[in-house]
Amino acid sequence: MSSGVRFIYCIIISLLTGTSLCAQKYYLSHYGVTEGLASSEVNCAFQDSLGQMWIGTNDGLYLFNGISFKPIKRDIPSQYIRDMVPMKDHSLVFSHDAGLTFARPLLDSILIPDQPLSTSVKYPNRLFSDTQDRLWISQPNGELIRFDGSETTTILSEEIDKQDVMIHYSFAAVNESDFIIASPNGNIYYHKDNSSELITLGKVFDIEDILYVDNKLYIAGEGLAVAEFTDAKNSLSITWESANFNSIFTALACDKLDRIFVGTDDSGLYQLTRRQGAFQLAEVFSNNDPHRVDRLPFKHINALNITSDNSIWVCSNKGLGLLQRRFFEGTQNLPNDNATTQALDDNGDIYVSMGDVYKIQKIDQEFSATKLDVPSIGAFNGLAVDRNDLWAGTNDGQVIKMDLNGQLKKVLSFSSRGAGVFRICADSENRKWFCQAPRGQPIFGLAMIDKNDQIHMYGKDKGFDNRMLVVKESPRKELYAAGIGTASYLYRYSPDQDEFINMSIPFSFPVSPNFEVHDIAIDNQGLVWLATTDGLLRHDMENIIRPDLGSYTGNEVRAVAVLPDTSIWISTDIYGMLRYKDGEILSFGEDAGLPTKIMAYRSIIADQDAKLWVNTLEGVAHTSQDLPHPFPTSTPILKSLSYNDKNLDLQRSS
């Protein structure tokens, strides 16, 4: 065993006591004795290649098919299942109080052949398989044993002061061949595939688990630390360590977005986030009801397992937890109030008006809202961003110019023209076009504030025949306005003539006499999609049609957006969100994460990552995915087959 390698402390201490941070909230499914487990002490979980979950508890091994738990008792000499690990041939090895069991998962069952390991091991717990398919076996007496398929070799033996069958070594793969080993005493070793020796990297506090992600080693135990690891120099440098957190850190896991999750012995589950350049712990909560935030029911976490679909399986002394992100999610620090308008700036920040104005920013893969200290001039009904300025329309006919932090720059009054300014569009020419509600007399068309803050009116003399409710710029930089009336519902701006051309086409289907266009979206082909009182319509400059939305056809649509994959997203009045693509309709409601099915007018936007943001009468929701698409359905598994009244054997190895 070689030593003398650099072990450098460049520590930033973070005081974690009393933190108010919270991580992304999840939908929780909680399984315990009532759901079919014989013991609520769950030690490990693993998903096999068939998608089945194997659960190890203090009272046996269980197979979970997503609906029910099936106990696996036969041919396993002990029911105290400590850990499990897959081998290259997709077989599983289980550690338990009587030693090891090598098994092969099958559909709805397991095959346990003759066991290859005759040499007894003493209460093995944590397991690890390397690229040579060798099994590394941790024992609570301080021994680390390697099994190569035919014989065992003791690799390490450390004196352990504590007497606990769960004291174990921990492992973290660095690349396809090399890995790091941590002893419960805090010693850290590096194993290179082409070397027979372990390289000593150093010693920290007593260790419960380690995790290697992106050149960083995360160390959990009596403390929590992050170390930079350089393979070329065999160098481990501690760069951050927690302090004053009155729990032991017991488990680590990383999801596909490189988010780090940390389990504790008495404080539940946390996400290790990076805010303003420093690591911080944010507690993970559940929100099965989008209006509520609840603490997780388990405090002592034994292990974490994140499956291919980014689901988090929590093994605890209070049963098994499954944490899943829903299709739509809420935003930290944002209330569930009526959200009336939204805007996006060039930095990707979102601005939302709920009476108060909030700025939503992405921090370490999560979104957090900050309330802006805006002028107390009136309720803001319209928002737009033009370069470094935030523009807002008030309910009493004023337009406010602010910086992006809400500091007042200018007030322009349009109260003599009408009432509330409810929609503002900032175009590529730095003009601000807005729609205004009438006060006592009709309003025709739009008003515009140019890049020099000069005001221009676009009414009857500029081509309008009615009041406009929305104005938007297309991907081709063409400006469209839409509003009220069967013969005056759509206009396009002509820069050469500096006026709007009526593009309204007569309908070939019946519409209501009070027909209105609430919102529009223009796709890359120049098609205009209209959210109207009479459903979703499509205008191609020659025809206007009403797409078949099944039972939703003809129902009021309040907002519409087109994403780069040509999917059409529709906000309805009382039916939540719809996705329309290639003639297929999908609906999303509270079970998908929306706070309510009652959607807001003119309030869908896609951010720079094509993540969808929607306003509702009870808050704001955004898609958990960029460029959202329906969650895939799991591949069906054929469980039985008969031919000529004879059942065929479908048992196959995973």
Residue 604 in contact with residue 569, Cβ under 8 Å?
Answer: yes
Query: What's residue 150's pLDDT?
Result: 83
Structure-block tokens of residue 408: 């007042």
The yes-or-no verdict on residue 595 having pLDDT over 90 is yes
Angle at 127 between CA 125 and CA 95, to 5 degrees: 45
Query: What's residue 114's pLDDT?
Result: 75
Residue 16 in contact with residue 245, Cβ under 8 Å?
Answer: yes
What CA–CA distance (Å, rounded) separates 622 from 620?
7
Tens digit of pLDDT for each residue in 601-615? 999 999 999 999 999
Q: What is the pTM of this model?
A: 0.85
Query: What's residue 235's pLDDT?
Result: 78
The yes-or-no verdict on residue 84 having pLDDT over 60 is yes
**Confidence band, pLDDT 50/70/90 cuts, at residue 19:** very low
Query: What's residue 204's pLDDT?
Result: 94
List all residues 6 or more positions away from 182 whose beta carbon is below 8 Å from its beta carbon. Answer: 169, 170, 171, 172, 188, 189, 207, 210, 219
Query: What's residue 149's pLDDT?
Result: 84
Query: What's residue 158's pLDDT?
Result: 87
Range with lowest mean pLDDT among 140-154, 211-225, 522-536: 140-154
* CA–CA distances in Å: residue 149 to residues 116, 134, 486: 7, 7, 79
**Residue 65 or residue 518, greater confidence:** 518
Query: What's residue 18's pLDDT?
Result: 36
Tens digit of pLDDT for each residue in 567-583? 999 999 999 999 999 99
The yes-or-no verdict on residue 10 having pLDDT over 70 is no
The yes-or-no verdict on residue 15 having pLDDT over 80 is no
**Confidence band, pLDDT 50/70/90 cuts, at residue 326:** very high
Range with lowest mean pLDDT among 5-14, 167-176, 496-505: 5-14
The arithmetic mean of pLDDT across residues 124-136, rounded, is 93
Tens digit of pLDDT for each residue in 549-570? 999 999 999 999 999 999 999 9
The yes-or-no verdict on residue 162 having pLDDT over 80 is no
Tens digit of pLDDT for each residue in 260-303? 999 999 999 999 987 766 888 989 999 888 888 899 999 999 99
* CA–CA distances in Å: residue 258 to residues 254, 310, 532: 6, 11, 42
Residue 376 in contact with residue 400, Cβ under 8 Å?
Answer: no
Q: At residue 10, what is the residue type?
A: C
Tens digit of pLDDT for each residue in 212-221? 999 899 999 9
Gyration radius of the chain over CA positions: 30
List all residues 6 or more positions away from 313 whose beta carbon is below 8 Å from its beta carbon. Answer: 45, 53, 304, 305, 306, 307, 320, 321, 322, 323
Closest C-alpha to 27, from 628, 588, 592: 592
Query: What's residue 273's pLDDT?
Result: 86
Strand partners, 129: 135
The listed range with the strongest mean pLDDT (190-204, 271-285, 525-539) is 525-539
Q: How many residues does the chain have?
A: 654
Q: Largest alpha-carbon pair distance within the chain?
A: 95
Structure-block tokens of residue 172: 């973290």
Residue 605 in contact with residue 561, Cβ under 8 Å?
Answer: yes
Domains of the chain by start residue, with CATH: 7-327 (2.130.10.10), 373-455 (2.40.10)
Phi/psi-derived region of residue 188, left when phi > 0, alpha when psi is between -120 and 50, beta in every other case: beta
Residue 84 in contact with residue 93, Cβ under 8 Å?
Answer: yes
Query: What's residue 70's pLDDT?
Result: 95
The arithmetic mean of pLDDT across residues 471-500, rounded, is 98
Phi, psi of 451 (to 5 degrees): -65, -15
Residue 112 in contact with residue 103, Cβ under 8 Å?
Answer: yes
In percent, how much of the chain has pLDDT > 70? Answer: 94
**Residue 207 or residue 112, greater confidence:** 207
Tens digit of pLDDT for each residue in 131-150? 889 999 999 989 999 998 88
Range with lowest mean pLDDT among 118-122, 375-379, 603-607: 118-122
Residue 650 in contact with residue 641, Cβ under 8 Å?
Answer: yes
Quickly list DSSP for 458-497.
Answer: ESGGGT--SBEEEEEE-TTS-EEEEEBSTTSSEEEEETTT
Range with lowest mean pLDDT among 45-49, 93-97, 229-233, 390-394: 229-233
Q: Mean pLDDT across the chain, nearest whole number?
A: 91
What CA–CA distance (Å, rounded) separates 372 from 356?
8
Q: At residue 55, what is the residue type?
A: I
The yes-or-no verdict on residue 483 having pLDDT over 70 is yes
Residue 599 in contact with residue 337, Cβ under 8 Å?
Answer: no
Residue 617 in contact with residue 596, Cβ under 8 Å?
Answer: yes
* CA–CA distances in Å: residue 295 to residues 265, 267, 270, 590: 15, 10, 11, 20
